[in-house]
Structure 1
Amino acid sequence: MTTLADPVPGGRPGDVERATALGGELSGHGVHGVVLAYVDTAGIGRVKTVPTAKLPAAAAWGVGMSPVFDTFLAHDAIVTTDVLGSPDGDLRLYPDLDHLAVLAAQPGWAWAPVDRITQEGAPHPACGRTVLRRITAEAAERYGVTFKAAIEVEWAVGRDDAPDGAFVPAVSGPAYGATRQVELSDCAAELLAALAAQGVEVDQFHPEYAAGQFEVSVGALDPVAAADRSVLVRQTIRAVGRRHGMRVSFAPAVTAGEVGNGGHLHLSVWRDGASLHAGGTGRYGMSAEAESFTAGVLARLPALTAVTAPSPASHLRLRPSRWAGAFTAWGREAREAALRVITGTAGVREQAANLEVKPVDLAANPYLALACVIAAGLDGMARAAPLPAEVTGDPALLDAAEAEARGVRRLPGSLAASVEAFRADPVLRTALGPVLADAVIAVRRGECRAVEGLDEDRVAAAYRWVY
């Protein structure tokens, strides 16, 4: 369960005492330091660490970090807004002790996600974790709904001795092949053990389509915990890969012209312990509210890509006929549609039914991605938005007239176009608030400038080892 209360100077009730007890337990297990982790606007995981003995002080008074990181680009250049990007000021990072985990693949270390507050004790308006927690709390209060969410993690394993930042797959077996699983057997077994030791429920692990690519699917949690889990899973995959002499890339496009790494988002809406995606009178068992939620997400997909596919490399992946969901379409188990309605197998549909959002990759800040998708869906619910007819097969094969008649549009073909759609979308900008929305725009525009004049191969290479 995610802590719902914002941090406060001096610590939330019981936090300091709990941190003191945890610190003693951690030290007894040979843990010397705690990683305090968050994700910036560009989708990069940033950290500070403290010795284990300082965990109570961190729970009481936080750990300092500059707000300038909210306008860092993926390659650490800095842009500015009217509020952010200055070298002045400070924030406090507060660990969420509910989600502290001992890092099984990094002996001597533990890990915890953080919320960020100002020195005066107010929530930092650019903290994506705080924004997501606020949106889910408001949904419970206004609509009486909660959510279950999970984020798929795809990555490519490369040889660590490859020259000049090149990607040379560390395995050679075919897509989804048993050979590839055998080639990664020891590393994969250690990964599953590490995730289990950290309390991460793994649903499945398998080789994927692209060269050297794998995927892990994890159990659903509340949205904040699901985003935390995504960050922890990637930290663990990277650490295990390093222990086996491999380099890991979560980049949307490891190699130009090939299928990239996705971070498909799974989401379901619940009320009073029952899923709105099963047992209803709508299509495929959806309730009217689930249909409207889906319609809300569908309507805002072009603007959503500014947060779900936020890198120039994202648009090397977000191409038609690659199962990336490049068109505004939905369908039951339709893997080319941007929204895949999953009903689950007969007998478990009440638990398994969910909405998969496919134009999402792991350059996305998972807190911002979930916050914006939920905001779009809730707007659809509030408007009782009608869900259009489903589209099956490959939307790219529709002729122009039929696509227009069915409301099927190509998602933005560039990051610049995504940013303009986001800038013009009042629902998403309101959900994030003006400070964070402006940071999203400034960072995305900065990334666009950073790749001006680069061909696709050089764009892929520029972001290959950043994510």
Structure 2
Amino acid sequence: MQGSSGAQVTTKDSNQQAGTVAGGQGAPSDPENVHLGIFDANGVFRHKKVSGAKAAKLAKTGGPFCDILYSWDTGEVPQETSAFVDRPTMIDPGAWRAYPFAENDALAISDFAEPFGAKSARNQAQGMVARAAEAGFTVHSAFEFEFTVFDETPRTLRQKSYRNLDHFAEGNRTYSLQTEALHHDLLAEFEAVMTRLGITLDAMHTELGPGFFEAPLLHAEGLKAADDAALFKNFAKAFFLRNGLTAAFMAKLSPDLPGQSGHLHMSLRKDGAAAFADADAEDGLSQTARHFVGGIVTLMPEMLALCSHTINAYKRMIPGAWAPTWSSWGVQNRTAALRVINDDTAATRIEFRVPAADTNPFAAYAMCLGAGMYGIEHGIEPPAAQTGDCYAVEAPESLRFPRTLSEAADRLEASDAARSIFGDDFVETYVKLRRYEVEAHNAQVGAWELARYLEVV
């Protein structure tokens, strides 16, 4: 279906569902209950539990969901006056899964139908997959997340005013055998929950910092990779809460702790072959790969708000923090914003290193794939690859990142390319929501300001 302003947004054909709730990925064919959800503008899974019989009916007819999901900020505060009406939604027939916390329950992903559905980042990501398919490509990708586990509950977090928190696995070290051995049962249960949910962890290991973990997800074709990522974050939080712990997916928790990333690996295939690989070309990269990289590097500064949608995300993008500070690329260069990984021809891919752990996977996915396809369609050649430390380079003005969410929202609003890729409705709604976040932040007075400006000797 053609989006309202250019984006290819798909609405599922209810005839495909034939009144059944069977959908693969381990979902029971006759579930007792179905946890039917829709991702809001910030990637939070908003769900209702319905009976299996009702879910079967909704699979055929669709059902209503309140449109407030695109009128509130991350704190669930409505930022505009509206009737907040129900809008039609459809269940994605390919997105049924087992619900991991009940033996005979299923989970299903729904989304808003057009025209309101053009506001949805998930619909936009699906539209970019369709755009690639029209050019003969299948999309293969995977997210990897860093996150911190606290030995805190929501109640203790509030009681401590989110300060001086106790970490789970306080003596944690990078690639720590001791942490895994000590907490093996809990971590094994966590992996089992993800497996039941249809998500495979490619690996899991400790990182530098107390309670700090990294979990790369196994690559998948099409939108499943973004669904996996979004469900991983939502259910990781739920799993650890069930165990009296809190999992944090913020970009930057403290000036004293490393930032937390949400990198996205992506490649294209054509007729089953790796479209980014060319053994006879420089660095083994095909012209398709170079144009894909060219599109992302060119559009990254003006579309940064799509993958970095919080105030906190911009506190991670500083020199030396293993996070990019400008739109650069390089082969096997971890200081670049876009890292080309070419050590295996069949798995030649790009690693989009800008997103933090707080990213909305659907918006980041749509941004990366949309900009890459734009580069292919317009034959955009990338600038010279960076071979050294990108932090030591004086970046050209055109490739520098916005330094704040406010500036990033302005850049996105003014982006003709973003509007041509995703449509005016999506861009304007997304920008509006980012400005709500900026206004909420600007109204606060924090501990740093009090300590600095009270001028107490």
TM-score range normalised by the length of the shorter chain: 0.7 to 0.9
Find the counterpart in structure 2 of residue 149 from structure 1. Answer: 141
**In the alignment, residue 175 of structure 2 is paired with which amino acid?**
Y
Contact 1:40–1:72 under 8 Å retained in 2: no
Q: Compared with structure 1, are the counterparts of its residues 20 and 39 closer, same or farther at alpha carbon in structure 2 (3 Å cutoff)? A: closer
Q: Does 1:390 align with 2:409?
A: no
Question: Within 1, Cα distance between the matches of 2:424 and 2:10?
Answer: 22
Measure the CA separation in 2 of the matches of 1:458 and 1:379.
Answer: 43
1:227 pairs with 2:214: no
Distance 1:361 1:452 in 2: 22
| Aligned 8 A contact 1:305 1:360 in 2 | no
CA contact (8 A) 1:157 1:246 kept: yes
Structure 2 match to 1:170: 168
* Structure 1 letter corresponding to 2:136: G
Task: Report 1:240-259 matches (<5 A).
Answer: 240-259=239-258
Deviation at 1:424, TM superposition (A): 1.7
Q: 1:464 corresponds to which residue? A: none
* CA shift for structure 1 position 256: 4.1
Distance 1:21 1:299 in 2: 39
Answer whether contact 1:331 1:390 (CA < 8 A) is retained: yes
Q: Which residue of 1 aligns with 2:122?
A: 129
Structure 1 residue 342 displacement after superposition: 0.8
Residue pair 2:143, 2:229 contacting (<8 A) in 1 also:
yes
Tell me, in whole angstroms, the C-alpha distance in 1 between the residues paired with 2:355 and 2:131: 24
Are 1:102 and 2:98 matched, yes or no?
A: yes
Q: How does 1:61-460 map to 2 (within 5 A)?
A: 61-80=61-80, 86-106=82-102, 109-117=105-113, 124-141=117-134, 143-161=135-153, 162=156, 163-164=159-160, 165-166=162-163, 167-172=165-170, 173-344=172-343, 349-398=344-393, 400=394, 403-404=395-396, 409-452=399-442, 454=444
Following the alignment from structure 2 to structure 1, what is the Cα–Cα distance between the partners of residues 186 and 215?
Answer: 13
The change in CA–CA distance for 1:292 and 1:455 in structure 2 (over 3 A counts) is farther
Deviates more, 1:435-444 or 1:366-375: 366-375
1:362 positional shift = 3.6
Contact map agreement 1:307 1:369 (CA 8 A) in 2: yes
Residues in 2 aligned to 1:27 and 1:295: alpha-carbon distance in whole angstroms = 45
- CA gap 1:425/1:150 in 2 versus in 1, 3 angstroms: same
CA distance in structure 2 between the aligned counterparts of 1:289 and 1:207, rounded to whole angstroms: 36
Relative to 1, partners in 2 of residues 1:46 and 1:130: Cα closer, same or farther, differing over 3 Å?
same
In structure 2, relative to structure 1, the CA distance for the partners of 1:456 and 1:300 (3 Å cut) is farther
The CA deviation at 1:446 is 0.9
Which residue number in structure 1 is paired with residue 4 of structure 2?
A: none
CA distances 1:367-421 after superposition (whole Å, capped 9, x unpaired): 22211221211121122212222213432223x4xx44xx784422111111122
Alignment check: 8 A CA contact 1:206 1:215 kept: yes
Q: Whole-Å Cα distance in 2 between the matches of residues 290 and 155 of structure 1?
A: 30
Structure 2 CA distance for partners of 1:303 and 1:47, relative to 1, 3 Å: farther
The CA distance in 1 between the partners of 2:448 and 2:18, in whole Å, is 49
Instruction: Name the CA shift for 1:456/1:410 in 2 (closer, same or farther; >3 Å).
Output: farther
Taking the aligned partners of 1:458 and 1:441, their CA distance within structure 2 comes to 28
Please, which runs of 5 or more residues in structure 1 have no aligned partner? Answer: 460-467
Distance change (3 Å), C-alpha of 1:365 and 1:39: farther
CA distance in 2, matches of 1:98, 1:178: 38
Q: Is the 8 A contact 2:304 2:408 kept in 1?
A: yes
Secondary structure of the residue aligned to 2:369 is: helix
Moved over 6 A (4+): 455-459
Question: Separation in 1 of the partners of 2:401 and 2:98?
Answer: 41
Distance in 1 (CA, whole Å) between partners of 2:38 and 2:336 is: 31
SS at match of 2:246: strand
* Counterpart residue number, 1:465: none
Contact kept in structure 1, 2:45 and 2:234, CA below 8 Å:
no
- Report the RMSD for the aligned CA atoms in angstroms: 2.6
- Determine the C-alpha separation between the residues in 1 that align with 2:298 and 2:213: 31
Give the alignment partner of residue 11 of structure 2, picking from 6, 11, 16: 6
Cα distance change, pair 254–286 in 1 and its aligned pair in 2 (3 A) = same
Equivalences for residues 46-61 of structure 1 within 5 A: 46-61=46-61
The farther-off stretch of 382-391 and 260-269 is: 382-391
CA contact under 8 A between 2:328 and 2:385: conserved in structure 1? yes
- Alpha-carbon contact 2:419-2:427 (below 8 Å) kept: yes
Once the two structures are superposed, residues 284-338 of structure 1 have per-residue CA deviations (whole angstroms, 9 ceiling, x without a partner) of 2110111111011011111222010110011112222111122221112211110
Cα 1:35–1:255 shift into 2, 3 Å = farther
Which SS does the other structure have where 2:247 is aligned?
strand
Distance 1:414 1:107, change over 3 A: farther
AA paired with 2:148? Answer: A
Percent of paired sites with the same residue: 24
Q: How far off its partner does 1:359 sit? A: 0.9
